[in-house]
Amino acid sequence: MAVAEIIDKYPLVLHYLGLSYTNKRVVQSDDLYFLLRKIEELAYPTREDDYVRSYYYFFLPIKMRSGIKFAPVLIFYLKENDEYDVCLHTAGCFTVRRGNQEPDELYVNFLRRLHEFAVLQIKNPIFITTDMICKRYLVGRIKLKYVTKPQMKIEEAREIMKQYRKNKALRLESDEVTLRDYLEVVKVIYEANSFDVSGDLKELYRRYSDGRDCGLADLPLEDKKAFTEWREHGCIGGHPFEVIRGGLISYGVHLYPPSRGKYTIYAEDQPEFYINAVKEFLRRKIPFRAPDLIRVLKFLTGEAVVKVNELNERPKILIFHSEVKRKDKIRWEELEEVKYRRKEFREKKV
């Protein structure tokens, strides 16, 4: 059976599957469960341990305006749960368990199309190259400047680094500071980002920080000893120092109290808020460390290499293939097809 015939025999709109990595749909169907068993029998596991048997990649033929393309599919058999996770690369997964549920035709066609193409690959294999894979379902890498316009010129980034190297010579007289001292530096971050800074220092902190302060806001403003003891014994993790809160899955800007004569500012996400604060610290000659500075400057100048079709960390951003302006600059991952049990398949047929 030709590839086009397989596509026509099992109509499928991938978007309608509603795939997700975090909220996977569960299909309880003996028919689909045993169809996945048949697909398993066609290939050797890519990886296997006591908990999971993994296969990647099978290829699913799909019809597009430009012609027939392929989408990579991963299958995981979870041994303890006796269930399958079927994942369309970069798009999401669905779970198949044994049961009497009548499965949606889309899921049936997905797996039947996958199975019949795998059989075709054993009988009359097609060499599938990266060009033949639908780019929605591949992960690539590209410099950010080919996706969006840079937010900063390289010359400005170099000047910031020059000033930062000079700042390294600055030191506070002591690491023992009051809560007021710390919150005054926190206020500088808010001012640098044009936040509303009306109200007292503790009120500002409560307004913009993470909220899990471990009692920081209850400390006296002028007592160095109280703040030092709290830092040593009352502080849990970095939550009290997330002075600009992040989002649901992202982090904000962190400012840590002095250590070895310097404050430390971090930014997992929110690079714009972070760089505004760094520039203001430099202007006011506040001694500080900025371990993330080069990474953030690369991001703002567009020189950072980012992933396409997969969530980026630090900052957390998701760039889809359709958003890339210079698609010719993407370096796509290379995928290997599963190794089929060709000999066993022929002997079984005989």
pLDDT above 80: residue 234: no
Same domain, 110 and 157: no
Structure tokens at 20: 């997700």
28 lies in some domain: yes
Are both 342 and 241 inside the same structural domain?
Answer: no
Q: CA 291, CA 144: separation in Å to the nearest integer?
A: 21
Cα dihedral 64, 22, 138, 52 in deg (nearest 10): -110
Please indicate, yes or no, whether residues 29 and 96 belong to a single structural domain of this protein. yes
Evaluate if residue 350 carries a pLDDT over 50.
no
Structure tokens at 297: 């400057």
122 and 105 co-located in one domain: yes
The number of domains in the chain is: 2
Q: Environment class of residue 216 by beta-carbon count within 10 Å: exposed (0-12), middle (13-18) or buried (19+)? A: buried
Whether 13 and 128 share a structural domain: yes
- Parent domain of 60: 3-138+333-349
**pLDDT tier at 348, thresholds 50, 70, 90:** low
In this structure, are strands 253-259 and 305-308 parallel, antiparallel, or unpaired?
A: unpaired
Averaged pLDDT of the chain: 94
**In terms of domains, do 187 and 267 share one?**
yes
What is each CA distance from 295 to 148, 262, 263, in whole angstroms?
17, 20, 19
Residue 129: helix, strand or coil by DSSP? coil
Residue 312 lies in a domain: no
- Reading the block at residue 305, the tokens are 């290499």
What pTM did the predictor assign? 0.85
Burial class (CB in 10 A: 0-12, 13-18, 19+), 346: exposed
Residue 345 has pLDDT above 70, yes or no: no
pLDDT in tens, 178-216: 999 999 999 999 999 999 999 999 999 999 998 888 899
124/23 same-domain check: yes
Question: Which 3 state secondary structure label does DSSP give 17?
Answer: helix
Give 46: exposed, middle or buried? Use CB within 10 Å, 0-12, 13-18, 19+: middle
Note the helical H segments in the chain: 3-9, 30-40, 105-123, 154-167, 179-192, 201-208, 224-229, 271-284, 293-301, 342-349
One domain, residues 298 and 229: yes
Residues 191 and 240 in one domain: yes
Q: Treating both helix axes as pointing N-terminal to C-terminal, what angle do 105-123 and 30-40 enclose, rounded to 10 degrees?
A: 20
Distance CA 40, CA 34 (A): 10
DSSP per-residue letters across 197-235: --S-HHHHHHHHS-S--TTGGGS-TT-HHHHHHIIIII-
Predicted local confidence at residue 347, as pLDDT: 67
Instruction: Report which DSSP code applies to 43.
Output: B
225 and 256 share one domain: yes
Residues 215 and 166 in one domain: yes
**pLDDT tens for each residue of 246-303:** 876 678 899 999 999 999 999 888 999 999 999 999 999 999 999 999 999 999 999 9
